[in-house]
Structure 1
Amino acid sequence: MSMNDLKIVSTQSTPLIETDSARGVIYMEGDSYPENSFEFYSELVAWVTRYLKDNERPLVVELALLYLNTSSIKVMMDIFDELEEAHQQGREVKVNWRYDADNERVAELAEEFKEDCSFSFNIIGQE
């Protein structure tokens, strides 16, 4: 069964979001401080839930997020919790979070997320 993939164009306050259910990849890039994070991310959260439910394939989350406001962080925690649950049930999930080596804040944030996750969570600094 083919899932509807998302292609959400980035704005000044919201990241680019692309999903590829055939490859099992979510890609997000940019800043995240939408007016309503839960509304903005609702499609992505629904996509993740459906993807994890509908098949057994691995899921890789590729992140290049620069800034997240508090409510965006909360939504990301919800998504990571869902990934963690899937991982506990034997699912292969992975997060690769790339960041600019000058951006300490994002690195620290990614580290905080990583602490709560037992799946593969790579924080990759780039010059």
Structure 2
Amino acid sequence: MTKYSIQATNSSPSINFDPDDMSFEIKGESYPENCWAFYDPMFRWLEQFFSVTREERVEINMEILYFNSSSSKTFMDFFEMLDTHAENGRNIVVNWRYHEENESAMECGEEFMGDVEQIKFNLVELTDIRESE
């Protein structure tokens, strides 16, 4: 299966999913004009990934500096999809990475964590800007 990679823009995050080294990362700001159009290819790629691989552990790193309400809804759909796959036997971990001064990102992560049931959702505070690179 090929990598899924999107470069960040001013209003959308970079997405880098590499099934060869099992690295999955979403990083940046998220307020695209059409949120569903931006994220739908990612959803389709992940559904294909889950259908053709038997990897038991999938770890996704998310470092979202800012996002709008449309992105928040899309992230909930994303976590619900991951929860479904976890319920079906996958070990799925989401690392919600936020900078220590970004209380809003931390609080949103706490809300997302409270809404998932099957995936392991970690809040990861970044205390040094170099940690996010």
| Correspondent of 1:22 among 20, 37, 60 | 20
Number of aligned positions between the proteins? 125
CA distance in 2, matches of 1:56, 1:47: 15
- Residue 66 of structure 2: aligned partner: 67
Tell me the alpha carbon deviations over residues 43-70 of structure 1, each in whole angstroms, 9 at most, x when there is no partner: 1111111111212212211111111111
- Residue 99 of structure 2: aligned partner: 100
**Partner secondary structure for residue 113 of structure 2:** helix
| Superposed displacement of residue 106, structure 1 | 0.6
TM-score by length of 2: 0.89
| Superposed displacement of residue 86, structure 1 | 0.9
| Superposed displacement of residue 7, structure 1 | 1.4
The alignment yields a C-alpha RMSD, in angstroms, of 1.1
Q: How does 1:108-119 map to 2 (within 5 A)?
A: 108-118=107-117, 119=119
Q: How does 1:70-85 map to 2 (within 5 A)?
A: 70-85=69-84
Runs of 4+ with >3 A deviation: none
Structure 2 stretches of 5 or more lacking a match?
Answer: 128-133
| Superposed displacement of residue 39, structure 1 | 0.3
| Superposed displacement of residue 25, structure 1 | 2.7
| Correspondent of 1:31 among 29, 32, 46 | 29
CA distance in 1, matches of 2:93, 2:29: 21
TM-score by length of 1: 0.93
Tell me the alpha carbon deviations over residues 71-95 of structure 1, each in whole angstroms, 9 at most, x when there is no partner: 1111111111111011111111000
| Superposed displacement of residue 24, structure 1 | 2.7
Moved more, 21-30 or 66-75: 21-30
**Partner secondary structure for residue 79 of structure 2:** helix
**Partner secondary structure for residue 102 of structure 1:** coil
